[in-house]
A and B are shown apart, each in its own frame.
Chain A
Amino acid sequence: QKEVEQNSGPLSVPEGAIASLNCTYSDRGSQSFFWYRQYSGKSPELIMSIYSNGDKEDGRFTAQLNKASQYVSLLIRDSQPSDSATYLCAVNPTGGFKTIFGAGTRLFVKA
């Protein structure tokens, strides 16, 4: 089992719809969770971090964390073509310096 798993996609949604991206992780003691966005040919950039169970909202983005289910998700409301990118889920395992990344989900938002 991979430490951080994501559906590779591609996920295709129409403009204005909600895009839902999902991620599961294997280390039950993990404390820190991140979503990065990576445009083609560019470096990843952080869009959301979440540390406690529940929802965290920032503009059109909502991160959801369920530690009991070892599940973290990212919702993008009112999706725009500019949201088309690969979204990387990242987790800091228990007591670790290093961040474990999932393989990423490619999102396409159709105009």
Chain B
Amino acid sequence: DVKVTQSSRYLVKRTGEKVFLECVQDMDHENMFWYRQDPGLGLRLIYFSYDVKMKEKGDIPEGYSVSREKKERFSLILESASTNQTSMYLCASTEGGATGDTEAFFGQGTRLTVV
């Protein structure tokens, strides 16, 4: 059974803290993504990676950074958490290929609250 696993289901952090969200996939997928999901706004892409040590900005990268040191692991970093980063964060992965016409597998999500 294919799996994308996020390190935490729920997190509560204080304003200004550095926050790490971890994601691991066991499908040997090339591409990995971080989205945030807010009511009425759908899934918005923060960053994605199509190879180890490669990263590309998505639509809303401000306030975030990412790290991909190994193919199976993609980390999202909030350098200094702010209340407007309270959201559901979803990690996803897809197979390799520039066309991107493959199914996205999602992790279970991390609900982050910044107080």
Contacts and interface: CB of A to CB of B under 8 A. Distances in A.
A32 interface: yes
Contacts of B48: 97-98
Interface residues of A, number: 26
Give the contact-size bracket for chain B. 20 to 34
B36 to A, nearest CB: 11
A43 interface: yes
Contacts of A102: 42
A104 to B, nearest CB: 6
Which of A36, A42, A51, A99 has most B Cβ within 10 Å? A99
Contacts of A96: 100
B58 A98 contact: yes
Contact of B42 (A45, A92, A95, A101): A101
B100 A43 contact: no
B38 to A, nearest CB: 9
Interface in A77-103: 88, 90, 92, 95-103
Closest 8 CB pairs of A and B: A32-B101, A103-B42, A43-B106, A101-B43, A92-B100, A46-B103, A101-B42, A97-B100
